[in-house]
Structure 1
Amino acid sequence: MPTRTEPAPGVHDLRHHGDAEVRGAEAGLTDLAVNVRDGTPPLWLTERIAASLGALAAYPDGRAAREAVAARHGLPVERVLLTAGAAEAFVLIARAFPARRPVVVHPQFTEPEAALRDAGRPVERVLLGECDGFRLDPGAVPADADLVVVGNPTNPTSVLHPARVLAELARPGRTLVVDEAFMDAVPGERGSLASRTDLPGLVVLRSLTKTWGLAGLRVGYVLAGPDEVTALERAQPLWPVSSPALVAAEACCAPAALAEAADAAQRIAADRAHLLGRLGELDGVRVCGPAEGPFVLLRVADASGVRARLRERGFAVRRGDTFPGLGPEWLRSAVRDCRTTDRFVTALRSVLRPEGAR
């Protein structure tokens, strides 16, 4: 399917996310549906967060966390805004920037479009195609689009768009939103625009949820020009980020934490290579690649049935048909350690060849 544009028809469940696959799940179910790194948060981080609970009587003060994020990316503090997760940032963007022709590049995380639609914005989709490896052609984005949203690396395709390609989308009069929620899982964070200050209208989103296992704490941040930060801050309620979340943000930007995250990114890359190798042994499984994120996108016949049968064998994977641009034949699986991968591939092989089939 080539790159194309279309108005958003609203036929996909934009509010469905991977946690729905495991919410209330039976004990022993291996979670491959949610992209949070296994074994997190680390003990040192939970201890830092727990130590902050004694100060809950005071209103949150985000100055230290904001300075830590700024230092981590080599930016002035006025280019940083802390948020209650990246999801809040999408809502703020929809409220703060009165776009006339917003465009969302799909397949990608669906919350940006959902937030824009909730704000009454007439969202247009640029759909990337499997035949192109779901890679972005900047020329496919309408020249008069004044708000463009793209993920990098993209959920669920695991495609990492080169920084130079994304930079071509930036121009005066346009807000370019790049969702880098998974960028710290990419070795060297290559492709990141987080520290760029030369691109007009650039807004970069980051999350601490994925690498550090803080989905329940809700903490992320925006990196943008001072004018954009001011506009977003005005759309934000007072004290939007809790004191424990601020402590977590500051801790995760410390040099030791960044070194730990870099090591984790290398392990994820090795585990992903093992997963891709094992999946390559299976007939009837096509993997979107090259994958660069902590998850992979799979195409299989009867994906709904495969997903149900995998669940019977103790594995939860993410359905792909809720992502615009994908159909019912797609599944997403998180990258896990090699032992878990081997168990998963054994189960997948068995459900691709149900008992009695020849």
Structure 2
Amino acid sequence: MDSLTQTPLPRDHGGNLDAAMTVFGGTRADWLDLSTGINPEPYPVLPVPAEAWTALPKRSDMERLIAAARSAYDTPARIVPMNGAQGAIQSVPALRSPGRAVVLAPTYNEHAAALRHFGWDVAEAATLSALEGADLAVVVNPNNPDGRRSPPEALGALALRVGHLVVDESFADPEPELSIAARLGTALPNVVVLRSFGKFYGLAGLRLGFALAHGPLAERLAELAGPWPVSGPAIEIASAALADDAWRAETMQRLTGDAARLDALARGAGWQVVGGSPLFRTYACDHARAAQEGLATRRIWSRIFPYSDSWIRLGLPPSDRWAQLETAFAAL
């Protein structure tokens, strides 16, 4: 990629298992969907109090969720619950009047798409230094899909050279040392951190995320979120999950081990590791589409990208489905 490009890419995503089933057949139970980066062994959900379903969330309920998130993310910032990290992404363009935005790319394409939709002039850049001078800069850390990591120190320095800096930490839970959340405050009043609950906790259907910021920026995010941005059941489930330090530590260890196991399997097939996170892995192979189709004939769905003929990304399988994946790789 050139240091700056303004060519919009298709707004495609993983999780499109219906399309795979249309082409390759099979039932949902047959398929192992590895096209997303969602923890395949989710947090165990306990029964939700009936009131969470029947009453609007109370202020005290929201404060309980925010306190759990503040502890889990180790941040002094104001925390604004959102309808998933995607809800936060769609709020970012309204933080200020449209201007020039630069997104560190290639990355999750919803950032650029949301900004363009609301009238921003959007460019994509290959290096952090190319983001300098932007009215709004976006960095996904760790990056999806290549796993590129931007140290918090480098992001803090970048924040001094842009109007606003948005750091999407949707995949940062297994690597808390990457997070800039602990640095938010008066020293970084122009930084917004986005966090996803559903990916690490394996509960993407809950549609819960958070925006972290300080001062007027946090006030603006809260205005955009509105009075009831998340549901009562989401508050109950997430408050318990975010406070469960033991589950978090065990899950981080398991994901790290499973990511290494997946890398070994891919290398055995002659693929090269591009990068990723403990929640997903991206590889380079000779022909990504052929590799995707080869896996799909064995009911395994993966993710390929419109800007690369060689990159293919896989999430992690649950513990009881590794044999299906190993058999599929052996047949490639």
For normalisation by structure 2, the TM-score amounts to 0.88
Aligned with residue 35 of structure 1, among 28, 34, 37 = 37
1:339 shift after superposition: 7.0
| Counterpart residue identity of residue 34, structure 1 | T
1:308 shift after superposition: 1.6
Deviations 1:293-315 (A, max 9, x none): 31111222232122122111121
Q: What's 2:292 paired with?
A: 307
CA distance in 1, matches of 2:139, 2:282: 17
CA distance in 1, matches of 2:98, 2:158: 16
Distance 1:231 1:303, change over 3 A: same
Q: Which sits farther off after the overlay, 114-123 or 60-69?
A: 60-69
> Unpaired segments of 5 or more residues in structure 2?
22-26
1:203 shift after superposition: 0.8
Q: What's 1:134 paired with?
A: none
Q: What's 2:228 paired with?
A: 239
CA contact (8 A) 2:85 2:208 kept: yes
SS at match of 1:182: coil
CA distance in 1, matches of 2:279, 2:139: 18
CA distance in 2, matches of 1:259, 1:276: 26
The CA RMSD over aligned residues, in Å, is: 2.2
CA contact (8 A) 1:181 1:210 kept: yes
Q: What's 1:140 paired with?
A: 130
1:259 shift after superposition: 2.5
Q: Which sits farther off after the overlay, 202-211 or 301-310?
A: 301-310
CA contact (8 A) 1:294 1:335 kept: yes
CA distance in 1, matches of 2:263, 2:224: 43
| Counterpart residue identity of residue 350, structure 1 | A
Deviations 1:19-69 (A, max 9, x none): 113578423111211211112141xxx21xx42333433222222212222
Distance 1:346 1:167, change over 3 A: farther
1:275 shift after superposition: 1.6
Q: What's 2:279 paired with?
A: 294
Matching of residue 327 in structure 1 with residue 308 in structure 2? yes
Q: What's 2:24 paired with?
A: none
Q: What's 2:72 paired with?
A: 72
**What is the percent sequence identity of the aligned residues?**
30
Aligned with residue 344 of structure 1, among 325, 328, 331 = 325
Q: What's 1:181 paired with?
A: 170
Q: What's 2:145 paired with?
A: 156
1:160 shift after superposition: 2.5
Q: What's 1:261 paired with?
A: 248
1:342 shift after superposition: 5.8
Matching of residue 53 in structure 1 with residue 50 in structure 2? yes
Q: What's 2:14 paired with?
A: 18
Q: Which sits farther off after the overlay, 64-73 or 222-231?
A: 64-73
CA distance in 2, matches of 1:55, 1:247: 7
| Counterpart residue identity of residue 279, structure 2 | P
Q: What's 1:87 paired with?
A: 86
CA distance in 2, matches of 1:244, 1:235: 21
CA contact (8 A) 1:32 1:334 kept: yes
| Counterpart residue identity of residue 120, structure 1 | G
| Counterpart residue identity of residue 226, structure 1 | G
Distance 1:338 1:219, change over 3 A: closer
Deviations 1:181-214 (A, max 9, x none): 111122xx12111111232411111111012122
Distance 1:95 1:39, change over 3 A: same
Distance 1:23 1:259, change over 3 A: farther
SS at match of 1:169: helix
CA contact (8 A) 1:158 1:292 kept: yes
Aligned with residue 154 of structure 2, among 157, 165, 176 = 165
Q: How many residues align?
A: 321
CA contact (8 A) 1:172 1:201 kept: no
1:333 shift after superposition: 0.5
SS at match of 1:178: strand
Distance 1:167 1:210, change over 3 A: same
Q: What's 2:107 paired with?
A: 108
